[in-house]
Amino acid sequence: MTVYFNGSYIDKADVSISPDDRGFVFGDGVYEVARAEDGALFQLDAHRRRLARSLEAIRIHDVDPDALWERVRGLLPRNGLDAGPAKVYLQVTRGAAPRQHAFPDASTEPTVYARASAHEPPLARWRNGVKVILRPDQRWDRCDIKSLNYLPNVLANQAAQEAGAYEALLVRDGFVTEGSHSSVAAVFDGTVTVHPFTNRTLPGITREVVLELCEDLGRPVETFPVAVDALPDADELFLMGTTTGVMPIVQVDDWTVGDGTPGPVAQELLAAFRALEPA
């Protein structure tokens, strides 16, 4: 596999990262995951903006996000991924320096790593819907930064896997924020309800795309946090994410959503989502 590492395309086996790298030591970095089709990245502008915002938020300044995305896109042909669905992973850390909490010397170069791999669209899950579980949201107060610090998400998702579920919906102060690696929407009387963009959720790019699709389809949208107690009143629930797409939820813990099959709103949005071209 050819990967991108600190300015060069090299074989993955030749990547050498220092044990002093602050990504390894502190999770001091940010990342992005984007989807591709036939060599073109979906929502490139949105990913570019979000990466720039994340870098700004954690004060890594020595990276040109635009040039970087061009290099990331270049991974697709180099890995025989310029036909069909693929995904790219990109991360930037504050670089390698002797361990201290405060930022290292200004001459420390960020570490940049990106790879591309094939992507299998989750067709069976889209068709059948998935189970989720509810877990406490134990994350920090800047969930709007796509940082490498995903330990609470990892633990919540592991709990989901152990419960035979696809995802954990996170609950803070009695309200559902999002999934461990996806955004969430609830449908009440035909209206799609999503959490507002605050410090408590990641600004999900698929969520934005879905809201645009709702507008195109004339479907009403409301933006407010859904109380966990109101979840059973929802006609439908669904997840949204770069690799998740629009995924109907049919079970939450031990109760069934609607009649236990993917609902019409999620199905309509999934169909519209699948018809989108990279842009």
The smaller minimum CB distance to ligand PLP, of residues 73 and 181, is found at: 181
Q: Does residue 60 sit in helix, strand or coil?
A: coil
Active-site residue, 146 included? yes
Residues 99-138 that bind ligand PLP (CB under 6 A): none
The reply on whether position 219 binds ligand PLP by CB under 6 A is no
The reply on whether position 239 binds ligand PLP by CB under 6 A is no
The smaller minimum CB distance to ligand PLP, of residues 203 and 258, is found at: 203
C-alpha 181/C-alpha 167 separation (Å) is 8
Cβ atoms of 103 and 94 closer than 8 Å:
yes
The smaller minimum CB distance to ligand PLP, of residues 104 and 122, is found at: 122
Instruction: Return the amino acid letter for 270.
Output: L
How many distinct helices (H) and strands (E) make up the chain?
Answer: 8, 16
Tokens matching residue 32: 């992005």
**Which range of residues in 60-68, 69-77, 87-95, 201-209 is near ligand PLP by CB under 6 A?**
201-209
The reply on whether position 65 binds ligand PLP by CB under 6 A is no
The reply on whether position 258 binds ligand PLP by CB under 6 A is no
From 126, 120, 225, 117, select the one nearest 166 (Cα to Cα). Answer: 126
The gap from C-alpha 121 to its chain's centroid, in whole angstroms, comes to 15
The smaller minimum CB distance to ligand PLP, of residues 25 and 239, is found at: 239
Name residue, tokens 């990641």.
202
Q: Which of 147, 182, 251, 267 binds ligand PLP (CB under 6 A)?
A: 182
Cβ atoms of 122 and 244 closer than 8 Å:
yes
Residues 4-63 that bind ligand PLP (CB under 6 A): 33
Tokens matching residue 54: 């994340």
**Which range of residues in 55-63, 177-185, 191-199, 266-274 is near ligand PLP by CB under 6 A?**
177-185
C-alpha 135/C-alpha 125 separation (Å) is 21
C-alpha 137/C-alpha 201 separation (Å) is 10
Instruction: Return the amino acid letter for 165.
Output: A
The smaller minimum CB distance to ligand PLP, of residues 54 and 206, is found at: 206
The reply on whether position 242 binds ligand PLP by CB under 6 A is yes
Residues in contact with ligand PLP by CB under 6 A are 33, 153, 178, 181-183, 202, 204-207, 240-242
Residues belonging to the active site: 146
